[in-house]
Amino acid sequence: MLAAADPQAGTESRRALEELIQAYWFPLYAFVRRQGSLGKTSFAAEDVVQEFFARLLEKKYLAQVDRSKGKFRSFLLAAMKHFLSKQRAWFRAKKRGGGRTVIALDALDAEARYAVEPADGLTPERLFERQWALAVLEQVLARLGRDYAAAGKGRLYHALEPCLTGGAGAIDTASVARELKMAEGAVRVAVHRLRRRYRDLLREEIAQTVDSPEQVEEEIAFLLNCL
């Protein structure tokens, strides 16, 4: 998040911005859709999110983020609420298709993901928090997969990844050992190392969005509670 906010970071800043937008666009899309009003349709919600990110980047609001005043997810949600309250008249007057494309949103895919959310029981804020939690976990898994691939262990990661998403018993260590021509004990050690690396990366990811190391465990607990 700090790299994304630094206009002097060049390529690193652009990459960080892309990752930030890709991580948060669907949580914000889901919030806007559940909020109603400007986001009553998938097209309208897409326009809102596109324009929100365009304004966020143009005005360099990320550079103004003070992490000592709260968590980044809270800042982003508050910024979206403020944006919606200020832009209702503009969106009513704007013709569909006149917005700016900041990121290539797949509205059909987004709406398919939104459609599986419970129709009742989740406020727009709670839906945003749930999708934020899922987005963080997806980012961690993607980074973990890239790390293993870069180390030449892509097959190992592909075989073991279900143990991170499926819980205990999600993989058959004996079958994995036969498939990868490893000792079963070595597979169990690899599972332990994968889970430990996953936890480390999750802490690193969360640490970028909070003010102090003391808040990391608190935020992880909140994340798990959102799922």
Write the pLDDT tens digit of every residue in 96-152: 445 555 555 665 577 788 887 766 678 999 999 999 999 999 999 999 999 999 999
Mean predicted lDDT score pLDDT of the chain = 82
Q: Name the pLDDT band for 42 (thresholds 50, 70, 90).
A: confident
Checking if the pLDDT of 196 tops 70, the result is yes
Task: Tell me what the mean pLDDT of segment 16-36 comes to.
Answer: 84
Supply the pLDDT for residue 3: 46
Q: pTM to 2 decimals?
A: 0.80
Q: Name the pLDDT band for 21 (thresholds 50, 70, 90).
A: confident
Q: Name the pLDDT band for 2 (thresholds 50, 70, 90).
A: very low
Q: List the one residue out of 17, 11, 16, 114 whose CA is nearest residue 58.
A: 17
